[in-house]
Amino acid sequence: MKYDVVVVGAGTAGLVSASLLALEGKKVLLVEKHKYLGGRAMEHRFRGHQIGLGSHLVEDPGDSLTKVCELMGLTLVHSERSDSMPFWDKDHWGPIQNQYSGEAKVGLKRCIEALMETPYEELDTLDHLSMREWMSKYTKEEGAFLVWEAISILEQITDKPYDHSASENLYVRKMHYEKKRTAGYSFWPMGGWEKLWKDMAAKFEGLGGEVRLSTTVKRVEVVDGRITGVTLKDRDRPDEDDDGEFVEADQVVINAPVWNIPELFEEGVLPFNLLQRVKMLADNRNKACWLGYWIAAKEPVIAMSEREMASFQATPRTGLGGFTLNFTGYDPSVSPKGEYLTCVGAAFDATEHWGDKAWIDRKFEEFWLDIEDMMPASKGALWKKKHLVTTYGVINKPGLVGAVRPDAEVREIEGLYLTGDTTRSRGIGIDKAARSGITTTEVLLGKRLPQFADTVRY
Ligand SMILES: Cc1cc2nc3c(=O)[nH]c(=O)nc-3n(C[C@H](O)[C@H](O)[C@H](O)COP(=O)(O)OP(=O)(O)OC[C@H]3O[C@@H](n4cnc5c(N)ncnc54)[C@H](O)[C@@H]3O)c2cc1C
């Protein structure tokens, strides 16, 4: 059997790309090494609660994943959005609005107006800059910086003023102001992620697509600078160094993140400059990291309100910035009746602390004491579960975003395409991955899809 396209990986971008290609009449095989769909946006049950690897809200204002679902005959129901953004001010929570009165409010307004007048393409010239450097042209007020930087901690997990990328953050602010008239828009998919990915895969199969789970692509095959197909690891003999199963295809879309790309090729096949960039981006010290707790309790563990996105720049003991989010407030069905689920995370800089177990253990301890002080309902927790996140993605710091990331098309190898949040795309997490899936599909097809004419490309 020969396929038009093999998609390697059924994460968000792989599912989006495979779906759109099938809709366009391509014969597509989607191969996923895990037994579940969704990649880093997978989801599972823990003590009756529906939890993912992390805190998966999505920032799509309607023109990326939501639209792909629509085209596939699915409805992605957005939960109600956050009704407030509490901010931790040294020793208490207060509305973020308290941080920018007077001149700061005027300064922030100037930034918003300037951003609305800046075309998206111009943001592509800001990959080297921090958001603060861009904002400084319009205001010198700390309160104005703080508002967008607090959102940036929630969204991009960057926490130092010079680490919030201008191009990446301004793209999202502009998109959300334009499409939703708000600084930050995020929602939980009602019904949860697992259901969505399964529904999407079923629709894809309905269009003639094939999905192979628990199947690893061992090698992407390239002969004379052209894709010929992929070799799959033998499922029955996964540890054997045999030839595996060859699947013929003219085109391959790789959804595997940059840290998995080099292993897919024979040495010397990937162009030197691409491989160097992939390796640089894949360096562990360029990953967005946080440490956090899942907390289940009989009463909501919150800062101020049940459906909030709360942010802090420094907790009393850890000194780290981060977020807290009560999932049950967005979708009561994620928890057993009478229980509430909260996720709290504190971002840390991998360049300083990657692999420093003693430091990380200490911060976990300090963080729990901070949480008890900041959200006293946590003292009555039914259970708490630590999580150390090291695979959120390549961090969106200046110099690590935009043009430095691999393009959708590998021009040196005919028929090879890349997709996913670690490639060149804009936005946050799942939304970024979905946008990348759309872009890659359009590049592979050599045309823009009319349904996405209004969707901004990088
Ligand atoms: C803990 C955590 C919390 C997060 N919270 C949020 C959030 O709140 N909001 C948000 O928007 N984003 C969040 N993210 C980020 C978001 O999950 C990712 O940005 C997004 O899921 C990336 O999708 P992707 O398709 O680019 O890549 P992936 O999801 O990584 O998909 C790649 C797929 O390729 C597969 N693969 C790799 N190699 C092979 C191979 N050789 N053969 C076959 N298959 C292969 C992998 O198994 C995987 O399924 C979070 C991430 C983590 C880890």
Between strands 226-232 and 245-254, the pairing is: antiparallel
pLDDT of 38 reads: 95
Q: Which residues pair with 130 in a beta bridge?
A: 165
- Which sign does the torsion angle of CA 188, 192, 197, 203 carry? negative
Q: How far is the CA of 55 from the centre of ligand 1 (A)?
A: 13
- Which sign does the torsion angle of CA 75, 76, 79, 83 carry? negative
Is any ligand 1 atom within 6 A of the Cβ of residue 217? yes
Delimit the domains of the chain by residue range: 2-78+191-283+398-452, 86-180, 288-389
Pocket probe mutation, ligand 1, options 12, 29, 40, 392, max atoms within 8 Å of Cβ = 40
User: How many residues comprise the chain?
Assistant: 458
- Structure tokens that stand for 420 in this block: 């996913």
DSSP state letters, 136-147: TTT---HHHHHH
pLDDT of 240 reads: 59
Q: How far is the CA of 13 from the centre of ligand 1 (A)?
A: 9
> 10 Å Cβ neighbour count for 145?
23
Q: Name, in order, each residue with C-beta under 8 angstroms of 385's C-beta and a sequence gap of 6 or more.
A: 46, 293, 294, 295
Pocket probe mutation, ligand 1, options 30, 43, 56, max atoms within 8 Å of Cβ = 56
User: Would you give the DSSP letter of residue 453?
Assistant: T
Q: Which residues pair with 45 in a beta bridge?
A: 50
> 10 Å Cβ neighbour count for 411?
9
User: Would you give the DSSP letter of residue 158?
Assistant: -
- Say if residues 336 and 49 touch (Cβ distance below 8 Å): yes
Give the C-alpha separation, 364 to 381, whole Å. Answer: 16
The CATH classification of domain 288-389, taken from the options 3.30.1950.10, 3.90.660.50, 3.20.20.70, 3.40.190.290: 3.90.660.50
Closest residue by Cα to atom 16, ligand 1, is 429
Give the model confidence (pLDDT) of 132-146 as tens digits.
999 999 999 999 999
> 10 Å Cβ neighbour count for 102?
9
Closest residue by Cα to atom 18, ligand 1, is 429
Give the C-alpha separation, 426 to 423, whole Å. Answer: 9
Averaged in consecutive runs of 10 residues, what is the pLDDT profile of the chain (458 residues)?
97 98 98 96 89 78 96 96 90 94 96 98 97 98 96 93 97 96 92 94 98 97 98 72 88 98 97 97 97 96 93 96 92 93 96 97 98 97 95 96 97 98 96 97 97 83
- Say if residues 184 and 155 touch (Cβ distance below 8 Å): yes
- Say if residues 6 and 230 touch (Cβ distance below 8 Å): yes
Q: How far is the CA of 37 from the centre of ligand 1 (A)?
A: 10
Is any ligand 1 atom within 6 A of the Cβ of residue 437? no
- Say if residues 26 and 18 touch (Cβ distance below 8 Å): no
pLDDT of 242 reads: 65
Closest residue by Cα to atom 4, ligand 1, is 54
User: Would you give the DSSP letter of residue 384?
Assistant: E
* Residue matched to tokens 């059997």: 1
CATH topology of domain 2-78+191-283+398-452: FAD/NAD(P)-binding domain (3.50.50)
Q: Which ligand 1 atom is nearest residue 387's CA?
A: 1
pLDDT of 243 reads: 78
Is any ligand 1 atom within 6 A of the Cβ of residue 65? no
Question: Is residue 229 left, alpha or beta, with left meaning phi > 0 and alpha meaning psi from -120 to 50?
Answer: left
Q: How far is the CA of 117 from the centre of ligand 1 (A)?
A: 33
User: What is the number of H-type helices and E-type strands within the chain?
Assistant: 13, 16
- DSSP three-state, residue 385: strand
Is any ligand 1 atom within 6 A of the Cβ of residue 189? no
Taking the model in full, what pTM does it have? 0.96
Give the C-alpha separation, 365 to 324, whole Å. Answer: 17
The H-assigned helical ranges of 92-237 are 102-117, 120-123, 131-135, 142-156, 166-180, 193-206
Is any ligand 1 atom within 6 A of the Cβ of residue 292? no
